[in-house]
Structure formats: structure tokens, C-alpha cells
Amino acid sequence: MASGKIARILLFVAAGVAALSVGFSLVRGDGEEAASEPESVQATAAPARTIPELEAQLKANPSDVKAWQALGWAYFEAGRYGNAVHAYRRATELAPEQAVLWSSLGEAVVMASEKDPMPKEAVAAFETAIAKDKADPRARYFLAVRRDLQGDHQGAIDDWFALLADTPPGAPWEADLRRTISQVADINKIDVKARLAAAQPAAHPSSVATAAIPGPSREQMQAASQLPPGQQQEMVQGMLENLEGKLKADPANVQGWIMLMRSRMTLGETAKASAAYKSAVAANPSQSVRIREAARTLGVPGV
């Protein structure tokens, strides 16, 4: 069984999986939705504000889900994992249906633990995340880590390969995930060279269906992954603000509306994705079938 120390070394991939938040969005920020709309909480919250600013904001409004999430991420980035746990716990209490908040909580609990590499609270949080979103990559990664810690090295590797199969080509966390598979396989004398060589993101129905839907390029994702978290967030929000501005000037741009829906969904901003869908249909009634089909493919709620 991999030791706790080795397990902790392997956890570095979590940061890469968390880059999903930016890499996949620009695969699933700090938006401006009201706290009364927890379903629109973004998938990740790279700290654009300082910890003191966020703490002050929460003293004034302790029910601000986005602020708790942003504070949790800010604490995490600062290495204050115990504080991050507290913040994410509060966020899950306020928005219990958000899978990403549960997986974020689980990751913070793991990093805050000095002895147990996979505390019960973390496992419960990851399992809750999966129950709410079976595709949550961070929860999938860590539950595979748990299998490895329990001695099921082959099972863990199989789970990581399944996650790799669902990973978009060129995603920022792809190389780290492959490295994790290779490291665990080497430690436990499991031959994965052929599988790794053959493992390419599978052409699942969802990926095939969305292949023609506009979105960020591989180069954009890679560029974003090289920026500090705050700048990543600024880049994402700047791109979306620019796109929204163009759509206001040219509402007949159906491709632009579809791109906006995709971006909002990958950010976890489902309410904004629904709003974009409605605006797109209202502005382009003759293209409603095309827009509706794209929205369904992307999983926009209410379509």
C-alpha cells in the first residue's frame, strides 16, 4: 500500500484537476449572482479579493455563498487548510446541491489532516459530490486515491484511467493525471505503459455532440493554466464580458450564444446559462431548434 507520505505527494494532481475550473471553462470564478441563487455558484473561486476583504464581506453578509467559496479557495492557496475547511463547510451548508463545494471541502480536509491521508469527513464529502455530480473530476480523483490507500492499487489505476478517458485533449491536468497513474503503477509493480500509450480521450457521445460547439482553444486553456489563480480568473471573466458585449451588439450571432452557454455551464453558472439560452431564442426565433439542441447537449437546465 502506498504510504501516507507518497499519497500526499500524489495529491499534487488535485491542483491540476482543480485547474478544470479554469482550463475546462475556459472544464467547469467570482460571478455576480445573488446569494439567493446558490444553483448559480461558480465551480471554482480563484481569489480575486484578499482574505481580509472577503472576511470583512462575510461579517457584513454571512450568507454570501460565493464569498465563502472564494474565501475557502483563498485560504487554500495560502496553505491555511484548516481555515479553508471551515469556509467550505459553511459554503456546503448554504448551497448543499453544489457538487464542487463538496469536493473542494474534501480536498481541504485531506490537506488539513496531519496524520490521516484520507479522513472520514473527506471521504463523505467526495461521496456527496459524486452523488450530486458523478462526473466531478476532483471527487473521482480522490476516491481513487482512497482505493489506492486501501490497497486496491489496480482499482485506483482503473478509476484514474476512466477519469483520463473523460479528460479533454490538452486539459491542464492531463499530464499530472498521467504522471499519477505512472507513479502508482511503478510503486506497485503494475505495467501500464501500453494503456497509457493507448489512452486518448474517448469519443464519448457528449464530446462528439459538443465537438462542433464553439469554445476555448487548446492554446487558450494552456495559456490560462500558466497564469496565477487571480489572473486566470480575470482572464476567464474578461473573455465572458467581452463575449456578452459582442452579443449585445450582435444578438443574431447564434454561435456566440452557444459559446456563452457552454462557458457558463462549464463554470457551473447554470442560471446564467439558462438566461443566455432564453436570450438566444428570443433574439433568434428562426434558429430556436438549433439553439435548443445545443443547450440540451450542454445540459442547460430548463431546456
pLDDT digits (tens, 9 = 90+) for 141-166: 999 999 999 999 999 999 999 999 88
Of the ranges 116-125, 129-138, 143-152, 233-242, which one carries the lowest mean pLDDT score?
Answer: 233-242
Instruction: Find the largest Cα–Cα distance for the chain.
Output: 61
pLDDT for the residue numbered 134: 92
**Assigned CATH class of 4-208:** mainly alpha
Contact 44, 100 (CB under 8 A): yes
Mean pLDDT of 280-293: 89
Q: What one-character-per-residue DSSP string does 25-66 give?
A: T---------TT-GGG--S----SS-HHHHHHHHHH-TT-HH
pLDDT for the residue numbered 227: 56
- The three grid cell numbers given for residue 62, joined into one nine-digit string: 454571512
CATH of domain 214-298: 1.25.40
As a whole number of angstroms, the distance between CA 258 and CA 181 comes to: 35
Mean pLDDT of 60-67: 94
Where exactly does CATH 1.25.40.10 map onto the chain?
Answer: 4-208
* Dihedral of alpha carbons 154, 160, 166, 172, sign: negative
Residues of the chain with pLDDT > 90: what percent?
36
pLDDT for the residue numbered 170: 60
- Label residue 269 by pLDDT band (50, 70, 90): confident
- Label residue 219 by pLDDT band (50, 70, 90): low
pLDDT for the residue numbered 42: 36
What's the CA dihedral at 229, 298, 127, 121 to 10 degrees?
30
Return the ∠ at Cα 116 (arms to 87 and 83), rounded to 5°: 15
What's the CA dihedral at 24, 26, 28, 33 to 10 degrees?
170
Chain segment 91-114, per-residue pLDDT in tens:
999 999 999 999 999 999 998 988
Chain segment 220-251, per-residue pLDDT in tens:
545 555 556 556 666 666 777 878 888 888 89
Q: What do you get for the CA distance between the two ends of the chain, in Å?
A: 47
**Sole residue written with cell 491555511:** 80
Mean pLDDT of 261-272: 80
As a whole number of angstroms, the distance between CA 60 and CA 54 comes to: 10
Mean pLDDT of 84-96: 97
> Within 13 Å, how many C-alpha atoms sit on residue 148's CB side?
31
Contact 199, 165 (CB under 8 A): yes
pLDDT for the residue numbered 223: 55
pLDDT exceeds 50 at position 39: no
